[in-house]
Chain A
């Protein structure tokens, strides 16, 4: 396992862009797949997308038009940008490491979670 530390604002205005960063405190980002997953208050988990360290990405079809995930291997971190947010995007956002990539859902390491509220 690796340790993941999340950072970013906890409050975003409607129509603006939600930005979060996940930094590896231990381990190297230069392998495996790096995902963002969110959980609305009191609800279940929703996969947002992942990035491989080479920069290859895969996004949830329902969010694809608004999401960008990027990686900075020199800083051992990856980031989430979610554009044009609404109240429906209010959730706890998690970063996670996925071991297998395509056809796999083996998330073995998770960040601490970041509650992001969309409100004016």
Chain B
């Protein structure tokens, strides 16, 4: 059972917009910055969004992040087939004194 709750799956058709949620608590999401990772099968995760809404160099602006209270969201607009992957949120947890990850969301592009 992850400290952070994500939907196990999400799906949309090419060109659509999809949102993935990450629900936490006052000891993690509410007080610390949320990061998002993209992972393709058999490969290491890749930093997609940092500090709630910042994009590393090279990440398309189709990807955006937001946070409100104890929840954060990753939005992907203009969905493309190559966006089909697993997405994880991550945040520092003050109670555990360390990073925690969400359970991951498998995104399917229909």
Contact = CB atoms under 8 A, between A and B. Distances in A.
Interface of A: 35, 44-47, 49, 58-61, 94, 96, 98, 102-108, 110-113
B88 interface: yes
A111 B101 contact: no
B101 A44 contact: yes
B96 interface: yes
Interface of B: 2, 32-35, 37, 43-47, 50-51, 56, 88, 90-92, 96-104
A63 B100 CA distance: 14
Contacts of B102: 44
Q: Tell me if B's interface is mostly helix, strand, loop or mixed.
A: strand
Contacts of B92: 102-105
A106 B88 contact: no
Given A104-B92, A105-B90, A106-B47, A61 B35 contact: no
Given A44-B2, A44-B88, A45-B88, A105 B99 contact: yes
A47 to B, nearest CB: 4
Given A45-B45, A45-B88, A102-B92, A108 B101 contact: no
A53 to B, nearest CB: 18
B88 A58 contact: no
B90 to A, nearest CB: 4
B44 A61 contact: no
Contacts of B35: 105-107
A99 to B, nearest CB: 8
A106 B48 CA distance: 10
Contacts of A96: 44
A42 to B, nearest CB: 10
8 contacts: A45-B104, A60-B96, A94-B45, A105-B32, A105-B90, A106-B51, A107-B35, A107-B47
